[in-house]
């Protein structure tokens, strides 16, 4: 009941219970990309997590019981992209808790024991409707809840070497969805900060973002085709990134946060772009 009351209070008036040291230290130790943060970054991340856990509701599916450790692991990875970001308005923030506004369009987080099969429907250019099944480890719904496979979340520490992180992937989709018209789909073009990469206005900033992302996506897509059809070298990053611009953004963001060193080798053109977006406050 106290947590419920805290949720509806303005963040400045809340007095949330602190995350126990043992619980926090265990979460950090299990994720090398969290352990690599400096002391001030970990402190800021811990603050964000404390309020994130108040604002969100975790629901275990198919009999899964979501423990405090599980919820904190998800919260820490979800809040990592926010750490040095700008406000939704595009301006710098004085109060880091304002960064949680990026996740203000939903409350529920459904945690499945493992991957699930989702029924999909598409319409081709001829107007023919196609139905198919897709196995997914997570899903972010516009203005709605977010689903995660705990089996995949639990492997985040060991899969960082491959640049994989399902939590970051789905929460980056949420960033991408801000400002999106109802019924539309994300396009890998989130709201950019004021003065992004030295630009004068949003139009110029958007043009730089789109041009760089398109060139990078096309290069990766070609590498995937070469590997699949002609026996070329398999790309380091998950080939799912070649599906479309939105998935390319989400998948590359996974790698950017959990294995920056390898990401910088594979996608050097995206480092200044993502630094300009995710590290606007640094």
Element (H, E) at 122: strand 116-123
For the stretch 178-208, what's the b/e string if a residue is b when 16 or more beta carbons lie within 10 angstroms of its beta carbon?
bebeeeeebebbbbbbebbbebeeeeebeeb
Q: What is the mean pLDDT of each run of 10 residues along the chain (282 residues)?
A: 65 86 98 98 98 95 97 98 95 94 96 79 59 76 95 97 98 94 90 94 96 98 96 95 97 98 98 96 72
Q: Residue 1: its pLDDT value, please?
A: 42
pTM (predicted TM-score)? 0.93
Q: Residue 115: its pLDDT value, please?
A: 80
Q: Residue 132: its pLDDT value, please?
A: 57
End-to-end Cα, the chain, rounded Å: 38
DSSP SS3 for 194 = coil
What is the dihedral angle through the alpha carbons of 92, 94, 100, 104, rounded to the nearest 10 degrees?
-70
Kindly list the domain boundaries of the chain, sorted by start residue. Answer: 2-278
CATH number 1.10.472.150 is the correct assignment for the domain at 2-278:
yes
Residue 136 phi, psi (nearest 5): -130, 145
């Amino acid at each position: 009941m106290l947590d419920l009351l805290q949720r509806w209070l303005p963040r400045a008036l809340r007095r949330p219970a602190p995350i126990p040291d043992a619980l926090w230290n265990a979460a950090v130790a299990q994720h090398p990309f969290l352990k690599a943060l400096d002391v001030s970054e970990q402190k800021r991340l811990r603050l964000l997590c404390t309020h994130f856990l108040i604002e969100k509701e975790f629901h275990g599916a198919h009999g899964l019981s979501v423990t405090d450790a599980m919820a904190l692991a998800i919260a820490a990875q979800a809040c990592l992209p926010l750490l040095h970001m700008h406000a939704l308005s595009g301006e710098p923030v004085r109060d880091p808790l304002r960064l949680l506004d990026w996740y203000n369009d939903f409350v529920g987080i459904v945690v499945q024991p493992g991957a699930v099969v989702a029924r999909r429907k598409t319409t081709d250019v001829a107007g023919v409707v196609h139905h198919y099944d897709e196995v997914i480890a997570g899903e972010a719904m516009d203005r709605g809840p977010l689903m995660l496979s705990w089996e995949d979340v639990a492997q985040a520490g060991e899969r960082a070497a491959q640049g994989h992180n399902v939590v970051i992937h789905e929460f980056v989709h949420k960033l991408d969805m801000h400002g999106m018209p109802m019924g539309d789909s994300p396009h890998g073009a989130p709201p950019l900060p004021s003065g992004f990469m030295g630009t004068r206005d949003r139009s110029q900033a958007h043009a730089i973002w789109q041009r760089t992302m398109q060139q990078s996506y096309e290069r990766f897509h070609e590498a995937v085709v070469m590997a699949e059809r002609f026996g070329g070298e398999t790309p380091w990053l998950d080939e799912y990134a070649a599906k479309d611009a939105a998935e390319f953004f989400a998948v590359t963001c996974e790698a950017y946060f959990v294995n920056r060193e390898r990401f910088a080798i594979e996608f050097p053109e995206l480092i200044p772009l993502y630094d300009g977006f995710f590290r606007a406050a640094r």
